[in-house]
Structure 1
């Protein structure tokens, strides 16, 4: 009997000294990393004719919710999809200089990146023009898509194609419209001064279209290839 009592006391003491799992503090969860705020572009302003080259790009600083170190990625190119004559630069500063081709329409944008590789959205794209040598006329800017949206689905027998365009010289502009089911569409309208075109479409087809912008001095710019699907 004594041996039994001794064993029981020993078990109780062991359990008392061992503590419980509830005494263990829960693991600390680090705060979720958040992306920096989107920078705001400052210079060059939209549609500015830039006479300096190299050109200094300037934007407003971003902030980071977690206090992380921020750097910036600058892109400029001669088309608004940033695939032609692209220049990229990464910097911790809010300004950076680049040498550019002369007499070209350019587009630029910036995004912020923190030290944990979280990216902000790109700032709203701006366009500008570099002055050429002895150039009396500048080609128009590439047209901008208004409607229908890229890759949209259209449930109708007709569609209104709509775009906008501008010219640094403020020359009058005309437009050639290319449209069809091939990704090399045919010209369906020439030298129009309108920025809309109504086309007939058939359900089940994917349609492609583009605009060529021309000024009255012989300058022209070929727009991007856009597309939509007829449902």
Structure 2
């Protein structure tokens, strides 16, 4: 009788262990390959005076059934989306225009999807003056919870890139309203952080406008954080 009970327990343990191993796993995060971050893409196949076909490539990620490529025109904000099981995809996009792109990993067995980093690039065209890439927010990141220092201040920081290497200034906006309309400072091209006064238990919105020597300007988009 004891041997029978032990045998049943062993079978039940093996059954539960196998069932646990069969639980679906979430998809992995994609590593982007091409077009390179903050670069000029010159390899597109010309489709006419205004459009070229660009091949986007990324590395294979674990537990992924489909990849969703999202390419956004930074001038208009419009986004093209394509789903594929491959690790590359072609899209026709405008020449002489800045874009951002990312890839979402999906698995039909789980609801969760995972997004890659967002890379920006400039699709080659006839223009001789490049618009600066949107500032890349470093800190505080989106929805980050932040402690103020003993002076009731926190530091906003970002990075920036321009193919012409002619960034002229940054305008930093911060307020408790969305979108932020309070201009806190206009800074030179070599200044990539700003210390600002903040209050406890308050949600803030902020953005950075990058302007180059030709007067071209781009926005980082609005980020939010909370002071604890």
- The TM-score, its normalising length taken from structure 2, stands at 0.75
Aligned residue for 2:37? 46
* Alpha-carbon distance change, 94 to 182 in structure 1, aligned in 2, over 3 angstroms: closer
Structure 2, unaligned stretches of length 5 or more? 45-51
Of 208, 211, 223, which aligns to 2:205? 208
Alpha-carbon offset, residue 214 of structure 1:
0.6
Answer yes or no: is 1:226 the counterpart of 2:223.
Answer: yes
Answer yes or no: is 1:112 the counterpart of 2:109.
Answer: no
Aligned residue for 1:185? 181
Of 133, 138, 142, which aligns to 1:146? 138
* Alpha-carbon distance change, 191 to 36 in structure 1, aligned in 2, over 3 angstroms: closer
Of 114, 126, 143, which aligns to 2:119? 126
Moved more, 26-35 or 155-164: 26-35
Q: What is the CA–CA distance in structure 2 between the aligned matches of 1:117 and 1:149, rounded to whole Å? A: 27
Q: What is the CA–CA distance in structure 1 between the aligned matches of 2:67 and 2:127, rounded to whole Å? A: 34
> 2:128 aligns to what SS in structure 1?
coil
Structural RMSD (CA): 2.9
Alpha-carbon offset, residue 203 of structure 1:
2.8
Give the greater-gyration-radius structure (CA): 1
Q: Tell me, yes or no, if the aligned pair for 1:185 and 1:208 is still in contact at 8 Å.
A: no
Alpha-carbon offset, residue 216 of structure 1:
0.7
Q: What is the CA–CA distance in structure 2 between the aligned matches of 1:91 and 1:47, rounded to whole Å? A: 25
Structure 1, unaligned stretches of length 5 or more? 1-19
- Which structure's residues are more often strand, by fraction? 2
Of 54, 65, 71, which aligns to 1:70? 65
Alpha-carbon offset, residue 226 of structure 1:
2.1
- The TM-score, its normalising length taken from structure 1, stands at 0.74
* Alpha-carbon distance change, 119 to 159 in structure 1, aligned in 2, over 3 angstroms: closer
Q: What is the CA–CA distance in structure 2 between the aligned matches of 1:41 and 1:153, rounded to whole Å? A: 29
> 2:115 aligns to what SS in structure 1?
coil
Q: What is the CA–CA distance in structure 2 between the aligned matches of 1:112 and 1:179, rounded to whole Å? A: 33
Of 30, 33, 53, which aligns to 2:24? 33
